[in-house]
Homo-oligomer: A and B are copies of this chain.
Amino acid sequence: MTTPHQSRADRRRATEARILAGARELFAERGFDRTTIRAVATAAGVDPALVMQYFGSKRELFTRAVQAFPAPPAPGGADALVDQLLATLGLKLGGLPEGTLAMMRSMLTDPAAAEQAREALGRQIDGIGAALSAADDPELRAALVITTLLGVTIGHQLLGLPALRDAPADRIAALLRPAVEALTEPGPSCGPRRPTA
């Protein structure tokens, strides 16, 4: 079973990685509350007490399992940013990191996860807001861009809405592009619709 000869440190790292992998998977599909340390231990082929010994508490395990959340905030300049956002969304619609899914899954019911999510999303918003400083209300626009993408991701990955599940990722990205551009561009949309409501 276990590869025959490896140092103690190697074994430790290996089982720690197995525990973290199991934790990420379970946190991602069941959320914080419904994921038991016992289940994580079983998934890792290990005794529950060992998980405690390694991570101290369920909270700490969650934090460690999720800490890869802060994806790159946003380097680009103007509307290449839109390309980038849609690319990461499009490509990863089928493959978001499990830590991110775990975070999103738990952020509405676990206050600590909510705080972590607020910080991570805030970083992204700040990054995008900086790139949008040409427009009015850049922060608000950035927040709307991020929450829009968040909503689509939730509907797609976490809720599994059929209308989104059945659509190819690049089609979603293509339809989303003008909407995101409309959020980032200062002027009125285009065709003379109506001034205000």
Interface string of A137-178 (1 = CB under 8 A from B): 101111110111111101110111111100100011111111
- Known contacts A147-B152, A149-B151, A189-B190; 19 additional CB pairs below 8 A are A104-B108, A106-B109, A108-B108, A108-B154, A118-B159, A118-B160, A118-B162, A122-B161, A125-B163, A137-B167, A140-B163, A140-B167, A147-B155, A150-B151, A174-B196, A175-B183, A179-B179, A179-B180, A182-B182
A142's closest neighbor in chain B, by CB? Answer: B163
What CA separation (Å) do A182 and B189 show in the bound complex? 8
Enumerate 28 A-B pairs (CB-CB under 8 Å) in ascending A order. A33-B109, A79-B193, A87-B197, A107-B159, A108-B109, A108-B159, A114-B159, A121-B155, A129-B163, A137-B167, A137-B171, A139-B163, A140-B163, A140-B164, A140-B167, A140-B175, A141-B175, A142-B163, A143-B163, A144-B175, A147-B152, A150-B154, A175-B183, A176-B183, A177-B197, A178-B189, A182-B189, A190-B191
What CA separation (Å) do A124 and B147 show in the bound complex? 19
A34 at the interface (CB under 8 A from B): yes
Residues of A within 8 A of B (CB): 30-34, 79, 83, 86-87, 104-109, 114, 117-118, 121-122, 125, 129, 137, 139-144, 146-152, 154-156, 158-164, 167, 171-183, 188-191, 193, 196-197
With A31-B109, A83-B197 known as contacts, the answer to whether A164 contacts B147 (CB < 8 A) is yes
